[in-house]
């Protein structure tokens, strides 16, 4: 039976409650704070209710809306929620588990039931503290080396399965020998090869910073690539480079470049040289300031010297720990390094006017090294061209199909320069620029057109640096420790070379840059199954899968030594479709 007094004093329906509250305020003149207390409003909420009433925005409903009354969660389900909480599962996790079991309950409902039962909220915990990942896989306590003899039957997935396309290349180019010869350090659980492959994997998939390795902390496939259960955490993999001595990094680079030379990767008769400032953004940086062409100003950073094979566009040398007073002599250090690789230096060095001094140009000339560079252009130098008769200028053809101005005017002469003496100078105008260009070279055998054409290809090293910054994230420094930067640059050089070799095996994509090769062929998921003799990598079908399949990389691939000398086998089709949304 209806209790009239309770009906008016304790209304159950929201509309009735609003009506009684407003009537008490306007008719019975009860103070607003007392009305708020009686009917369970905050004072601000009651004031808002009055304003809505005066504006005619309220509609009083005295009958409860149709629908189920009382709790809709069964007693059994309620007990199940309580049991999961006793196992230290959060409301979010309980809701996920119930949905998996086919009895979906919203997280807010789970939270309400737990509150009603007297459970307080769990303290905020990370996935590591919880002990599981979002995919409900067990989090390993730390990265550790896998035993190749126990890998048979191993199965897993890799979010960037194309990383296994580089395993045959690394084996072919002797990455293990390079690591061993450099005597890189190791830890009790992780070898120097494991560390190197882990950091190289991040380069190959274009991760901006070492700290972002956390995105792949639990990727079993990437761990397998480095012969680990999972990749090391960001702190371990970043700290590793701090332990590297400068001599070890140089020895590692020397071994890799020497192997590339033996494989005839570097076939050009021209080597491009350039500086690049890797900017450091830390407020307390102790690095020197160097000029950054991209910003057209001096910035704090690591000055890096880079050499590139012109035809393959692969980097062949990199050094980062360069002080301002050492910059001019870096070309001499490179010549010494390259002679360790190749013996007599018969290629032509191409670089801009700010790379070195006239004294060093004289040293190169006396050492029999051919070079092409620019002369620093001054007002008097440009003004002196006005006295040259028009008939002494000749028009030449520059053999560069994409060049807009292919027929510039040139004037060739022999000039005297400090420290050098007599040297060949070529002045070029009509090349699309406001000021003429002054080339100086000790190359007396090739024609004017050949000299200019060879210098014009110097843009390739600038594009190579731009790619290293854009895809390999060369400019994303998190530390001013120069050894770390140097190792990062050397890994960038190796990753760039690996992408070059992968591109050469893909018909129609031979001249594509790393970013395009990654997008079309590397950035795809894969399922991996290890048998006693093989590592089977199953990719989903993609538009470019026929190109990759026709490359037949696994046909020539050597057994992968760090994974138990197993052959790698690639397949395409249904084997990779189920993880296409990783």
Mean pLDDT lowest among 272-281, 344-353, 535-544 = 272-281
pLDDT value at 517 more than 60: yes
The tens digit of pLDDT for each residue in 43-91 reads 898 999 899 888 888 877 766 666 665 567 888 898 899 988 888 888 8
Average pLDDT over residues 352-380: 91
Q: Which two tokens stand for residue 260?
A: 């590339």
Q: How many residues does the chain have?
A: 582
Distance CA(518)–CA(528), nearest Å, equals 19
Question: In whole angstroms, what separates CA 577 from the centre of its chain?
Answer: 25
What is the structure's pLDDT at 251?
A: 94
What is the structure's pLDDT at 250?
A: 92
CB 277, CB 426: distance < 8 Å:
no
Q: Which two tokens stand for residue 212?
A: 């972002």
Q: Which two tokens stand for residue 89?
A: 């599962």
CB 480, CB 242: distance < 8 Å:
no
Mean pLDDT lowest among 424-428, 458-462, 469-473 = 469-473
Question: Could you tell me where the beta strands, DSSP code E, fall in 33-160?
Answer: 155-158
0.85 exceeded by pTM: no
CB 319, CB 488: distance < 8 Å:
no
Instruction: Write phi, then psi, for 40 (nearest 5 degrees).
Output: 75, 25
What is the structure's pLDDT at 314?
A: 93
Q: Which SS3 state, helix, strand or coil, does residue 189 take?
A: coil
Instruction: Give just the sign of the alpha carbon dihedral 221, 226, 232, 234.
Output: negative
498 membership: H or E segment, kind and range: helix 482-504
pLDDT value at 16 more than 70: yes
pLDDT value at 242 more than 50: yes
What is the structure's pLDDT at 484?
A: 75
Distance CA(551)–CA(133), nearest Å, equals 37
Categorize the per-residue pLDDT at 322 as very low, low, confident or very high, splitting at 50, 70 and 90. confident
112 membership: H or E segment, kind and range: helix 107-116
Question: Is the model more confident about 31 or about 125?
Answer: 31
What is the structure's pLDDT at 236?
A: 80
Beta bridge partners, 560, equal: 566
What is the structure's pLDDT at 213?
A: 63
- Helix spans in 263-377 (H): 330-342, 358-366
What is the structure's pLDDT at 67?
A: 61
pLDDT value at 506 more than 80: yes
Counting other chains too, the contacts that 66-70 makes at CB distance below 8 Å and 24 or more residues apart are none
What is the structure's pLDDT at 582?
A: 30
What is the structure's pLDDT at 577?
A: 41
What is the structure's pLDDT at 575?
A: 46
pLDDT value at 494 more than 90: yes
Instruction: Write phi, then psi, for 331 (nearest 5 degrees).
Output: -65, -35
Calculate what percentage of the chain has a pLDDT beyond 90.
40
Mean pLDDT lowest among 104-113, 292-301, 321-330, 481-490 = 292-301
pLDDT value at 308 more than 70: yes
Local structure of residue 195 (DSSP, 8 states) = H
CB 469, CB 203: distance < 8 Å:
no
Cα atoms found within 13 Å of the Cα of residue 498, Cβ hemisphere only = 30
Categorize the per-residue pLDDT at 139 as very low, low, confident or very high, splitting at 50, 70 and 90. low
- Closest residue by Cα to residue 219 from 571, 528, 530, 563: 528
Mean pLDDT lowest among 122-131, 365-374, 375-384 = 122-131
CB 176, CB 253: distance < 8 Å:
no
Which burial class, exposed, middle or buried, applies to 250 when counting CB atoms under 10 A from its CB (0-12, 13-18, 19+)? middle
What is the structure's pLDDT at 20?
A: 86
Question: Could you tell me where the beta strands, DSSP code E, fall in 442-580?
Answer: 526-530, 534-539, 567-572
What is the structure's pLDDT at 548?
A: 92
Number of CB atoms found within 10 A of residue 13's CB: 14
**Measured CA distances, 503 to 210, 459, 506, 522 (Å):** 26, 21, 5, 11
Number of CB atoms found within 10 A of residue 431's CB: 19
CB 86, CB 117: distance < 8 Å:
no
What is the structure's pLDDT at 239?
A: 80
Distance CA(167)–CA(557), nearest Å, equals 9
Strands 421-429 and 409-417: antiparallel
What is the structure's pLDDT at 580?
A: 32
Cα dihedral 479, 485, 491, 495 in deg (nearest 10) = 80
Q: What angle do CA 367, 460, 264 make, to 5 degrees?
A: 65
DSSP 79-97: HHHHHHHHTT--HHHHHHH
**Measured CA distances, 300 to 78, 211, 286, 479, 484 (Å):** 61, 22, 8, 12, 16
Beta bridge partners, 145, equal: 228
pLDDT value at 125 more than 90: no
Question: Is the model more confident about 299 or about 580?
Answer: 299
pLDDT value at 140 more than 70: no
Average pLDDT, the chain: 85
Average pLDDT over residues 325-331: 92
What is the structure's pLDDT at 578?
A: 37
CB 554, CB 181: distance < 8 Å:
no
What is the structure's pLDDT at 581?
A: 32
Between the two ends of the chain, the Cα-to-Cα distance in Å is 60
The tens digit of pLDDT for each residue in 406-436 reads 788 899 999 989 989 999 999 998 877 778 8
Sequence-distant (≥ 6) Cβ neighbours of residue 93 within 8 angstroms: 84, 130
Categorize the per-residue pLDDT at 498 as very low, low, confident or very high, splitting at 50, 70 and 90. very high
């Amino acid at each position: 039976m209806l209790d009239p007094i309770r009906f008016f004093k304790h209304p159950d329906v929201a509309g009735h409650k609003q009506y009684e509250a407003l009537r008490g305020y306007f008719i019975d003149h009860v103070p607003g704070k007392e009305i708020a207390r009686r009917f369970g409003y905050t004072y601000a909420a009651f004031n808002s209710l009055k304003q809505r009433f005066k504006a005619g925005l309220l509609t009083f409903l005295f009958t409860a809306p149709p629908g189920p009354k009382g709790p809709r969660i069964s007693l059994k389900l309620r007990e199940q929620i309580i049991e999961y909480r006793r196992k230290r599962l959060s409301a979010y996790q309980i809701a996920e588990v119930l949905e998996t079991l086919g009895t979906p309950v919203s997280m807010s409902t789970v939270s309400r039931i737990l509150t009603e039962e007297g459970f307080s909220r769990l303290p905020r915990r990370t996935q590591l503290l919880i002990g599981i990942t979002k995919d409900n896989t067990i989090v390993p306590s730390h990265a550790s080396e896998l035993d190749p003899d126990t890998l048979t039957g191993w199965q897993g997935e890799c979010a960037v399965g194309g990383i296994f396309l580089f395993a045959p290349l690394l084996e072919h180019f002797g990455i293990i020998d390079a690591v061993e010869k450099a005597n890189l350090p190791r830890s009790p659980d992780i070898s120097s090869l494991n560390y190197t492959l882990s950091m190289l994997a991040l380069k190959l998939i274009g991760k901006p910073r070492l700290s972002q390795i956390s995105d792949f902390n639990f990727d079993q496939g990437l761990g397998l690539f480095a012969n680990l259960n999972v990749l090391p955490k960001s702190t371990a993999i970043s700290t590793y480079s701090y332990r590297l001595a400068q001599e070890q990094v140089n020895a590692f680079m020397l071994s890799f470049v020497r192997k590339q030379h033996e494989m005839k990767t570097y076939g050009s008769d021209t080597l491009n040289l350039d500086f690049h400032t890797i900017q450091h953004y830390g407020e307390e940086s102790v690095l020197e300031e160097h000029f950054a062409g991209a910003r057209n100003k001096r910035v704090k950073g690591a000055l890096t010297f880079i050499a590139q094979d012109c035809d393959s566009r692969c980097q062949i040398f990199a050094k980062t720990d360069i002080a301002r007073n050492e910059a001019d002599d870096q070309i001499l250090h490179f010549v010494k390094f390259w002679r360790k690789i190749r013996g007599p230096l018969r290629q032509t060095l191409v670089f801009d006017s700010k790379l070195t001094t006239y004294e060093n140009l004289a040293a190169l000339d006396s050492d029999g090294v051919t070079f092409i560079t620019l002369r620093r252009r001054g007002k008097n130098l440009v003004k002196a061209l006005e006295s040259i008769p028009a008939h002494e200028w000749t028009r030449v053809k520059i053999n560069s199909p994409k060049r807009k101005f292919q027929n510039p005017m040139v004037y060739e002469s022999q000039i005297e320069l400090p420290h050098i003496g007599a040297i060949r100078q070529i002045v070029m105008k009509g090349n699309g620029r406001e000021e003429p260009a002054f080339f100086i070279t000790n190359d007396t055998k090739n024609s004017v057109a050949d000299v200019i054409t060879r210098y014009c290809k110097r843009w390739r090293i600038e594009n190579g640096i731009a790619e290293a910054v854009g895809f390999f994230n060369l400019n994303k420094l998190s530390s001013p420790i120069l050894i770390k930067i140097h190792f990062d640059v050397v890994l960038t050089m190796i990753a760039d070379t690996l992408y070059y070799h992968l591109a050469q095996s893909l018909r129609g994509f031979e001249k594509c840059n790393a970013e395009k090769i990654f997008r079309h062929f590397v950035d795809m998921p894969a399922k991996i199954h290890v048998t006693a003799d093989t590592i089977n990598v199953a990719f989903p079908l993609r538009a470019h899968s026929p190109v990759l399949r026709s490359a037949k990389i696994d046909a020539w691939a050597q057994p992968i030594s760090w994974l138990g000398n197993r052959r790698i086998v690639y397949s395409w089709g249904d084997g990779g479709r189920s993880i296409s949304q990783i």
